[in-house]
Structure 1
Amino acid sequence: MEKQSEHFLFADKTEIEDLGNGLKRQMLGYNHELMAVKIWFDKGAQGYTHKHRHSQVTYVLEGEFHFTIGEETTVLKAGDSCLIPPHVDHGAICHTGGILIDTFSPAREDFLKP
């Protein structure tokens, strides 16, 4: 990936992508080594169980999420965070509605439009 985001991104001018099923995503910045995104979850929305080659750190900005990483499930609330190693199954359900900040290394190429 050769692309990178602008140095400054403004919340009111950066696209919010509707992912369907109660999820929306906004890019916060990226280059080939790192990516940060903001994800909105409607009440009851689910981040399906999946895995990828990227290291991921997720910060809970708002709401309550039931997170599963590997075989372990726990509840994370605003101010909590988690580390998801590469190639480990993970997913989340938001029973309250909420917002996550996800960071990835390297960047998720699949999140970028061609």
Structure 2
Amino acid sequence: MESMAPADGKTVEAVEGVYLTQLVAGERTSVQHFHIEPGARVPEHSHDHEQAGYIAHGTFTFLVDDEEHVLSPGESYVIPGGEPHAAENRADIPVSGVDIFSPPRTDPDWMD
């Protein structure tokens, strides 16, 4: 078994106010922690990996297919691989949570 806390991973500011930490990775999935400051935006992007996640703190707005999906603490989501999506923290407090990717996303471009 492998375990890791966000404080033990390498945190990267992928875009202004968006902090991502690559955590554990297995043969079929990988886990990433996110912390997004108020007003920060994840630009539209897509990747081959299916992405499932959980909002631990704050409120996060996803933009998928010209639709807004507002998620609150305790809610989860899944985005199919190849689906273009963006996200914004429109609240006054940071949002944080975890993403799980399948297949594992062990070398995302934001780590460069």
Same fold (TM over 0.5): yes
Return the letter of the residue paired with 2:66: E
Residue 71 of structure 1: how far off its partner (Å): 3.3
Distance 2:41 2:9 in 1: 24
- 1:62-84, Cα deviation, whole Å (9 max, x unpaired): 11111122232121111111110
Aligned to 2:104: 107
Return the letter of the residue paired with 1:105: S
Which residue, out of 64, 81, 93, partners 2:59?
Answer: 64
Aligned in 2, Cα 1:10/1:100: closer, same or farther, shift over 3 Å?
closer
- 1:55-106, Cα deviation, whole Å (9 max, x unpaired): 1102111111111222321211111111101111111101222112111000
Which residue, out of 21, 37, 43, partners 2:32?
Answer: 37
What is the TM-score of this pair, normalised by structure 1? Answer: 0.82
- Percent identity, aligned pairs only, is 25
- Pair 1:13-2:14 in alignment: no
What is the TM-score of this pair, normalised by structure 2? Answer: 0.83
Q: Which runs of 5+ in 2 are unaligned?
A: none
The DSSP-based 3-state class of the residue aligned with 2:7 is coil
Aligned in 2, Cα 1:98/1:24: closer, same or farther, shift over 3 Å?
same
Return the letter of the residue paired with 1:84: I
Return the letter of the residue paired with 1:68: L
Aligned to 1:95: 90
Distance 1:111 1:32 in 2: 16
More off after superposition, 75-84 vs 104-113: 104-113
Distance 2:70 2:3 in 1: 33
> Aligned pair count?
109
